[in-house]
């Protein structure tokens, strides 16, 4: 892709010329040629600062998401019973999410199915750019461990996204919800592997993608506990060529998950995601939240408290989730602890790649489930 920025206006022009078989300028021919075979990156597009400045947005999005459906706001109101509180699933930095149902008679090729409808909160932490980034990334990238984006709505000030419905919600809710059964060890490892595969896919795309906001609330689970990554609104295109990182002056993400080099210098790379993945692994191991102000001072930051204990087998007993009641294979737990320690390295270079993480976790899936049995949990 040319290093020259492509404006929305030029994209519309290119599409228009393509449809009418007009003569294109050399730069436009290159865009059209590569756009047919290579992913269009967020960095390839000059994104306007306000939604009102976008011309023919639906036509423009058709270039990056030709398989997406366009939904009028009225259809999504009907699908969610007017965004009823009874259909409310949760809320994040983007805005509220509602469960809905789309009829197969709405669009040709669209099957009847439950959906999740995410509505942009104009006064929230994220905005139009993040809404558009989600469409650009998930509109083009398809993988079993990425949540499927079905379509979108762009009507006046309203910006909505329509996803496949994930029956078990987020890993955060499953892991930290009160008065619910603890996730078994095997289920935790299944989730860890699925999330790792999704992240490895993003990192190894023809144009790498840095997730930037990897955390338990962005890992969604279907009825079979298959993990799928969602919410790529903060994602960035990764470095190309010999560059090892991209630099950003705007530090965005979630407290406790961001890599040290990203916080300190704004240097962002795929290894920054690996650190965040290590934090999630630590949550799966311990059953604790990444930041918990209700705990003693030295235990409030999960990484600061637990990382030094990961290399000591005797101390590992004290940090593994007591709700598992000892029902986990010690050999597997030790390997996961060692992997977590590497992912949480203070420097990016020693951290493994996500493809290496996948290989390690795959080897653990076939590990004989030698349970160590109940043990007495001692607060450390």
Tell me the catalytic residues. 213
What are the DSSP calls for 298-330, one per residue? GGSBHHHHHGGGTT-HHHHHHHS-GGGTT-SBH
Distance CA 208, CA 188 (A): 27
- Residues in Cβ contact with 246 at an 8 Å cutoff, skipping those fewer than 6 apart: 210, 236, 237, 238, 239, 267, 268, 269
Taking CA atoms, 338 is separated from 2, 11, 137, 316, in Å, by: 43, 48, 32, 11
Rounded to the nearest 10 degrees, how much is the dihedral formed by the CA atoms of 119, 86, 71, 230?
Answer: 50
* Angle between helical axes of 330-343 and 354-365 (0-180°, round to 10): 170
Helix (H), strand (E) at residue 161: strand 158-164
Nearest CA among 160, 157, 162 for reference residue 51 = 157
Spatial contact of 104 and 184, defined as CB atoms under 8 Å apart: no
* Residue 53 half-sphere exposure toward CB, CA atoms < 13 A: 9
Spatial contact of 208 and 202, defined as CB atoms under 8 Å apart: yes
* Residue 280 half-sphere exposure toward CB, CA atoms < 13 A: 29
Taking CA atoms, 39 is separated from 6, 64, 108, 163, 269, in Å, by: 14, 8, 25, 20, 19
Nearest CA among 299, 260, 300, 323 for reference residue 380 = 299
* Residue 220 half-sphere exposure toward CB, CA atoms < 13 A: 20
Spatial contact of 298 and 309, defined as CB atoms under 8 Å apart: no
């Amino acid at each position: 892709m040319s290093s020259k920025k492509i404006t929305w206006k030029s994209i519309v022009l290119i599409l228009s010329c393509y449809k009418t078989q007009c003569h294109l300028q050399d730069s436009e021919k290159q865009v059209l040629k590569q756009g047919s075979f290579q992913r269009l990156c967020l960095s390839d597009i000059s994104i306007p600062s306000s939604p009102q400045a976008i011309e023919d947005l639906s036509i423009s999005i058709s270039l990056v998401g030709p398989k997406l459906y366009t939904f009028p706001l009225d259809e999504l109101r009907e699908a969610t019973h007017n965004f009823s509180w009874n259909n409310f699933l949760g809320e994040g930095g983007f805005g509220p999410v509602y469960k809905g149902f789309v009829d197969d008679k709405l669009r040709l090729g669209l099957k009847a199915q439950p959906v999740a409808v995410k509505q942009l909160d104009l006064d929230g932490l994220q905005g139009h750019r993040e809404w558009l980034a989600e469409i650009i990334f998930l509109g083009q990238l398809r993988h079993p461990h990425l949540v499927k984006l079905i379509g979108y709505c762009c009507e006046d000030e309203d910006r909505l996204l329509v996803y496949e419905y994930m029956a078990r919600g987020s890993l955060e809710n499953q892991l930290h919800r009160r008065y619910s059964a603890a996730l078994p060890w095997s289920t935790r490892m299944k989730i860890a592997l699925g999330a790792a595969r999704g992240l490895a896919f993003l990192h190894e795309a023809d144009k790498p993608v840095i997730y930037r906001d990897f955390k338990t609330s962005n890992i969604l689970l279907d009825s079979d506990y298959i993990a799928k990554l969602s919410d790529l609104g903060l994602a960035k295109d990764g470095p190309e060529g010999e560059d090892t990182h991209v630099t950003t002056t705007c530090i965005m993400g979630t407290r406790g998950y961001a890599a040290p080099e990203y916080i300190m210098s704004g240097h962002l790379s795929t290894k920054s995601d690996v650190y965040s993945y290590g934090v999630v692994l630590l949550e799966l191991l311990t059953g604790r939240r990444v930041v918990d102000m209700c705990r003693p001072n030295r235990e409030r930051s999960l990484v600061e408290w637990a990382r030094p204990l990961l290399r000591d087998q005797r101390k590992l007993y004290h940090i593994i989730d007591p709700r598992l009641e000892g029902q986990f294979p010690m050999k597997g737990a030790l390997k996961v602890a060692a992997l977590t320690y590497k992912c949480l390295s203070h420097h990016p270079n020693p951290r493994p790649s996500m493809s290496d993480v996948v290989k390690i976790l795959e080897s653990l899936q076939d590990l004989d489930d030698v349970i160590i049995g109940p043990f007495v949990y001692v607060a450390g």
